[in-house]
Amino acid sequence: MKFFFYADNLNPSQLKRRAPEHKFLFTAYLPDHSVQFCRWSTQWRCGLASVVPSPGEKVWGAVFEITDEDLKILDEFENDVPQGAYRHLPVTVITEEGEKLLVTTHAANPIGKFKPKEHYIDWVLKGLKQWKLPEECIEQWKAYKPA
């Protein structure tokens, strides 16, 4: 299955634990969406990122091939915060070459607006740099850091 990751699951340490058989395919963006912090994480003690519809905006990430077993492990982690907090969402991403592709991603069932913390953003940034996401993506995530 082709899966689009856009936040903390891009961090190589986390990705290895949650989708051990993953294979990087390419970077891409999700058009007409933005990142919002609409779930609370007891692990991170801050808001967790999710994609939400937002006309004219885009969310960069990376598409990976993952196995059924990877998806099962991912879902177990996502359901820890709490069960049912995240759902699978079919989305069309656009590659850097302009090709459109239907993939799956996780999106939160929003419960409010929360602030991310610096350690969470730094964790995400490590993943963005690992997969060589565009500078505009890195700058966008840096802007989420608390002032």
Q: What is the tens place of the pLDDT at every residue in 107-143? A: 998 999 999 999 999 999 999 999 999 999 999 999 9
pTM for this predicted structure: 0.94
Q: Stretch 18-23: mean pLDDT, rounded?
A: 96
Rounded to whole angstroms, the Cα distance separating 43 from 20 reads: 21
| Token pair 């991403």: residue | 93
Task: Supply angle C-alpha 64, 66, 68, rounded to 5.
Answer: 160
Task: Tell me the three state secondary structure of residue 104.
Answer: strand
The answer to whether 76 touches 134, Cβ cutoff 8 Å, is no
Rounded to whole angstroms, the Cα distance separating 45 from 36 reads: 16
